[in-house]
Chains A and B, each alone.
Chain A
Amino acid sequence: MSPLGRILLVEDDPKDVELTLTALEEYNLANEVVVARDGAEALDYLYHRGNFMRRSGENPAVLLLDLKLPKVDGLEVLQQVKSDDNLKMIPVVVLTSSREEKDMVASYKLGVNGYVVKPVDFHEFVNAIKELGVFWAVINEPPPGSMKKR
């Protein structure tokens, strides 16, 4: 079995989390997903703060980021990650309900690596998540210093 990278899923809606995990489960990618419920928690994870003080040192292989989040929103997290020398190599994929061009432009300006609008149709949704997971966590070679599952 090829090594799996850790996926940090930043998503506040538990139903979306469940659907995403269900989609990833079908391809055995669910085990290595860490879920952050808002932007602040995501930053805590990335900076080994709060609940994540004791986690191992490596960065996740990919960050799946919702935009509309409580406390610290997705664009702020993205900006923080891309302006930090230790974090900016982490691939970030925005995974959002919004088709707003404004969000898309802002995300790309901040250096996002991908932008995916969650489809309403379940099959399309599952496909999108699957492909994201397979590409970023399996096919893509993550930057040095990322977590890999033995």
Chain B
Amino acid sequence: MLQRYGLAVLSVGLALSAALFLESYHFRNVEVPLLLFAVAVSAWYGGRGAAALALALSFLSFDFFFTEPLHTLYITAADIPYFIAFASFASLITWFSTVRRRVELDLRQARERLEREVAERTQQASLLNLTHDTIFVRDMNDVITYWNRGAQELYGWPAEEAVGKRAAELLHTEFPSPVEDIRAELLRSGRWDGELEKTRADGTRITVSSRWSLRRDERRQPAAILETNNDITERKRREREIGALNEELAKRTADLEAINKELEAFAYSISHDLRAPLRHMAGFTELLQKNIGPLSEKSQRYIGIIMESAKRMGELIDDLLSFSRIGRAETHKTVVSLEEIVQEALSEARPDAGARNIVWKVGDLPASYGDPSMLRLVFVNLISNAIKFTRTRPEAHIEIGSAAEKPGQVVIFVRDNGVGFDMKYANKLFGVFQRLHSTDAFEGTGIGLATVQRIVHRHGGSVWAEGLVNQGATFFFSLAKSQGA
């Protein structure tokens, strides 16, 4: 502010000094252009205020030094046109300079705005470049105008090559529906998304999940389309794989169901048709025996064997059927109290023991998770075995308890002091119809432990045994622990 008025005072002072100096060398009438020049300089560089001050000072100097009477501030009528011309000229210069300054200011502001915008845009563009997502912009003629680093990474085209090309031609885009429909949707709602097939620079086809956003200009006219792409080729491949696997699974399930049905029909047929001939063999042998009358001891024995065999085969068929039924039956799993189940099993198996001397020991048993009737069958089989194989002992000891737990599982054992077994045959214990003793020594079909194993396996557990010949046997099985137990 002060500088501006200082400029006015200084320029008028300099002009006056020069005029007075020149006048002393008899150069006349140079004072007016010099003073006007001082006003012009003040107006140009100092603005309106400085111009007014320079004008006032110039008036006074001119009046004082150059108009008659000299060295007074008296103004004669003859001086007035001078003053008017002087003032008009000064105003004109001031007005010009003001306009110039305004234009200059506007220009400067415009430039600053532009610079800011450029800086902002540059930053945005470089931010878009930072992302690995594929982003590019197309104008309404599908010509690419922007292409970020992610696009370069995905498609293999650098920005210099991609910008200016038509996107659909560059990428051989395959649309899921007519492209006109997609455009119509975009123009209506401002966006579109879907899956597109595109081609990379190296020729490989990829599937992308594509999102389009429409940008409109100030006149609300569609101006550009921003497109982002995500490569979902791998995901689609996996989806197809999963679909194929599911189909395969459904087919296998159907196959299994068919096989199961067949098996059921087979078992049904065995149940009906295989037992009838056995009944006839046994029945008619018996009738034959009656019909013939008294028989020799040998013949009597043969007939006895035939009938015994028929009966045994009947038992085998029954056992096999119930064993296969366990495999086919649905399990109805609930939280079960093993103690209750053991009590039920004991009351079912104990009558086998008759009047024998058996010391029972039943420990604490945890709650578990399983099918109660199947688990009861497990205990019935194990307890019956224990009773059976301690038959030769004057005092039998049978213990039921839980052993050290595995994580999330309970381990149950049934231990006896019976005839035991040789560990080298332990793997044969649980096979169907596998027996380690002759039928003469210990009766049975060899289905009991196979049944135990099948039930335990169906519960996701395992079964194993430890034994020594004549030193007793211990049978273990594991079950899932009941939640919260």
Chain A residues close to B by CB (< 8 Å): 13, 15-16, 19, 22, 67-68, 96-102, 118-123, 125
Contact of B272 among A97, A120, A122 (CB under 8 A): A97
Q: How far is the CB of A95 from chain B (nearest CB, A)?
A: 12
- Bound: A126/B393 CA distance, A: 38
Contact A120 B314 (CB under 8 A): yes
Task: Other than A16-B279, A122-B285, give 7 A-B pairs with Cβ distance below 8 A.
Answer: A15-B280, A22-B283, A68-B273, A97-B275, A98-B272, A119-B279, A125-B279
Q: Which of A19, A97, A102, A125 has its CB near the most chain B CB atoms (within 10 A)?
A: A97
- 1/0 contact string of B268-308 vs chain A (CB within 8 Å): 10011101101110111111000000000000000000010
Contact A120 B275 (CB under 8 A): yes
Q: How far is the CB of B269 from chain A (nearest CB, A)?
A: 9
Q: Quick check: is B318 within 8 A (CB to CB) of the other chain? A: yes
Q: How far is the CB of B186 from chain A (nearest CB, A)?
A: 63
Q: Quick check: is B18 within 8 A (CB to CB) of the other chain? A: no
- Bound: A140/B271 CA distance, A: 31
- Bound: A80/B2 CA distance, A: 125
Q: Quick check: is B346 within 8 A (CB to CB) of the other chain? A: no
- Bound: A19/B273 CA distance, A: 16
In the complex, what residues of B have CB within 8 A of residue A96's CB?
Answer: 272
Contact A99 B321 (CB under 8 A): yes
Contact A99 B287 (CB under 8 A): no
In the complex, what residues of B have CB within 8 A of residue A100's CB?
Answer: 267-268, 271
- Bound: A86/B325 CA distance, A: 39
22 inter-chain pairs at a CB distance below 8 angstroms, sorted by A residue, are: A15-B280, A15-B284, A16-B280, A19-B279, A19-B280, A19-B284, A22-B287, A96-B272, A97-B276, A99-B271, A101-B325, A102-B268, A120-B275, A120-B278, A120-B279, A120-B314, A121-B282, A121-B311, A122-B282, A123-B286, A125-B279, A125-B282
Contact of B268 among A98, A118, A119, A123 (CB under 8 A): A98
Contact of B318 among A16, A68, A99 (CB under 8 A): A99
Q: How far is the CB of A32 from chain B (nearest CB, A)?
A: 22
Q: Quick check: is B310 within 8 A (CB to CB) of the other chain? A: yes
Dominant SS among interface residues on chain B: helix
- Bound: A102/B283 CA distance, A: 27
- 1/0 contact string of B297-338 vs chain A (CB within 8 Å): 000000000010011011000100100010000000000000
- Bound: A19/B283 CA distance, A: 7
Q: How far is the CB of A141 from chain B (nearest CB, A)?
A: 31
- Bound: A123/B286 CA distance, A: 9
In the complex, what residues of A have CB within 8 A of residue B311's CB?
Answer: 120-121
In the complex, what residues of A have CB within 8 A of residue B271's CB?
Answer: 97-100
In the complex, what residues of A have CB within 8 A of residue B310's CB?
Answer: 120
Q: How far is the CB of B267 from chain A (nearest CB, A)?
A: 8
Q: Which residue of B lies closest to A123 (CB)?
A: B286
In the complex, what residues of A have CB within 8 A of residue B278's CB?
Answer: 120
Contact A16 B321 (CB under 8 A): no
Q: How far is the CB of A115 from chain B (nearest CB, A)?
A: 14
- Bound: A16/B283 CA distance, A: 9
Q: How far is the CB of A44 from chain B (nearest CB, A)?
A: 24
Q: Which of A68, A102, A118, A121 has its CB near the most chain B CB atoms (within 10 A)?
A: A121
Q: Which residue of A lies closest to B277 (CB)?
A: A15
Q: How far is the CB of A105 from chain B (nearest CB, A)?
A: 13
Q: How far is the CB of B344 from chain A (nearest CB, A)?
A: 20
- Bound: A17/B325 CA distance, A: 30
Contact B307 A16 (CB under 8 A): no
